[in-house]
Amino acid sequence: MRRTSTKVVAAAALLVALVLAGVVSRFADHDPDGLTKVSQEHGFAHKATTHRGLLGGYGSLTGVVGVVVVLGLAGGLAFAVRRRRPDDERP
Amino acid sequence: MHVPDGFLDAPTSVATGVVAAAAVGVALRGARRELDDRTAPLAGLVSAFVFAAQMLNFPVASGTSGHLLGGALAAVLVGPYTGLLCMATVFIVQCLLFADGGITALGTNIDLMGLVTVVVGWTVFKALQAVLPKRLSMVAPSAAVAALVSVPVAASAFVLLYAVGGTVDIPLGSLTTAMVGVHVLIGIGESVITFLAVASIVAVRPDLVHGARPVLEKRELVLHHEVAA
């Protein structure tokens, strides 16, 4: 059996993330999440304060931008801290 | 479960910030052992997937939604140290770009939804791996159980923080019941998504799944043993 290349796996994973953020997110439930709902029912929701996010809120476009930013930051961080191959193992 | 500014008082928020910074520091050192040229690209993808999946709130009860946290998923796919770095990246971007989760609550959110879910998820996963047969088919179900457990534990951790530094005095018993109750339901969704994601990668490239390595190494040992015999 031929092994699926890492590039193909990576491309598929990225495509899934982009489709989830850009398309499927349109169908996300807009009800308050677990903590927000509990805070409303237990009388501490009014304590929440908000700030302005640099991209505003979540949407198809900003979601895709978010995916790319997260990919770049986490991927870059991983590359920075990874083990380098010893020189004698370099092709 | 993104905690906004204002739910917890300043001393508690400072303390959770210190814990988060220390945890990320430890993770930066530990991730070196988990990451090499082959696995480093996966860390970015896992982080991107968790970010995207967290946008997808699913209904859990009347008028209540939930979304993936992803710590157990990240730990199984790329290892617990790298997993925490992936999760912290997601929360920092959500906080700064989308105002999802408060700024003073950033440490709290990294602790609850990153540190707790990664540590609990990885611990449960490794415990299951120790007692279950060493087969690739066990990896995704074990990850799913780990994910299921991690969410109500994270909710309980929020209650603990609230007991220490909550800004409104409320009965902690009913807060615990409500938080754990709704997050068990969210945990079911978490376990389904985690199962699907881990099973997909295990099906095509089990060698890229950090949590599957002990199984693959054992299989190779058996193969060598058979050849030698």
pLDDT at A90: 43
The number of domains in chain B is 1
Query: Residue B89 contacts by C-beta under 8 Å, 6 or more apart in sequence?
Result: A70, A73, A74, A77, B47
A4 touches chain B (CB under 8 A): yes
The model's pLDDT over A52-89, given as tens digits with 9 standing for 90+, comes to 999 999 999 999 999 999 999 999 999 999 987 654 34
Query: Chain B partners of A25 at a C-beta cutoff of 8 Å?
Result: 52, 55-56
Closest CA to B50 of A23, A80, A20: A20
Would residue B3 count as lying in a domain? no
Record the tokens describing residue B190, joined without a space: 């978490």
Query: Residue B227 contacts by C-beta under 8 Å, 6 or more apart in sequence?
Result: none
pLDDT category of residue B218 using cuts at 50, 70 and 90 = confident
Average pLDDT over residues A31-45: 97
State the burial class of residue A56 (Cβ atoms within 10 Å of its Cβ: 0-12, 13-18, 19+).
exposed
Is residue A29 over pLDDT 70? yes
Would residue B53 count as lying in a domain? yes
The answer to whether the CB atoms of A6 and B41 lie below 8 A apart is yes
**Cα distance between residue B226 and residue B214, in whole Å:** 18
Q: Would you kindly state where each structural domain of chain A is located, as residue ranges?
A: 58-91
Percent of chain B residues topping a pLDDT of 90 = 92
Average pLDDT over residues B18-40: 95
Contact B53, A20 (CB under 8 A): yes
Query: Residue B25 contacts by C-beta under 8 Å, 6 or more apart in sequence?
Result: none
**Cα distance between residue A13 and residue A7, in whole Å:** 10
3-state secondary structure of B33: helix
Whole-angstrom Cα Rg for chain B? 18
The per-residue DSSP string of B75-119 comes to HHHH-HHHHHHHHHHHHHHHHHHH--S-STTHHHHIIIIIIIHHH
The model's pLDDT over B66-109, given as tens digits with 9 standing for 90+, comes to 999 999 999 999 999 999 999 999 999 999 999 999 999 999 99
**Cα distance between residue A26 and residue A21, in whole Å:** 8
The model's pLDDT over A3-27, given as tens digits with 9 standing for 90+, comes to 899 999 999 999 999 999 999 999 9
Closest CA to B187 of B26, B23, B71: B71
**Smallest CA–CA separation between B49 and chain A, in Å?**
5
The model's pLDDT over B131-162, given as tens digits with 9 standing for 90+, comes to 999 999 999 999 999 999 999 999 999 999 99
State the burial class of residue A43 (Cβ atoms within 10 Å of its Cβ: 0-12, 13-18, 19+).
exposed
State the burial class of residue B17 (Cβ atoms within 10 Å of its Cβ: 0-12, 13-18, 19+).
middle
Rama region for A90: left / alpha / beta (φ>0; ψ in -120 to 50; rest):
beta
The answer to whether the CB atoms of B65 and A31 lie below 8 A apart is yes
Would residue B153 count as lying in a domain? yes
The answer to whether the CB atoms of B52 and A73 lie below 8 A apart is no
Query: Residue B126 contacts by C-beta under 8 Å, 6 or more apart in sequence?
Result: none
A44 touches chain B (CB under 8 A): yes
The answer to whether the CB atoms of A69 and B97 lie below 8 A apart is yes
pLDDT category of residue A91 using cuts at 50, 70 and 90 = very low
The model's pLDDT over B193-209, given as tens digits with 9 standing for 90+, comes to 999 999 999 999 999 99
CATH of residue B109: 1.10.1760.20
How large is the ipTM? 0.94
Percent of chain A residues topping a pLDDT of 70 = 91
**Smallest CA–CA separation between A41 and chain B, in Å?**
9
Query: Chain B partners of A15 at a C-beta cutoff of 8 Å?
Result: none
A61 touches chain B (CB under 8 A): no
Would residue B121 count as lying in a domain? yes
Model pTM score: 0.95
3-state secondary structure of B69: coil
Question: Which of B40, B64, B185 is closest, CB to CB, to A32?
Answer: B64
The answer to whether the CB atoms of B32 and A83 lie below 8 A apart is yes
Mean pLDDT of chain B: 96
**Smallest CA–CA separation between A66 and chain B, in Å?**
7
Q: Which domain holds residue B161?
A: 10-228
Record the tokens describing residue A36, joined without a space: 């927000």
**Smallest CA–CA separation between A77 and chain B, in Å?**
8
Angle between helices B71-78 and B139-165 in degrees, nearest 10: 130
Angle between helices B40-54 and A6-22 in degrees, nearest 10: 20
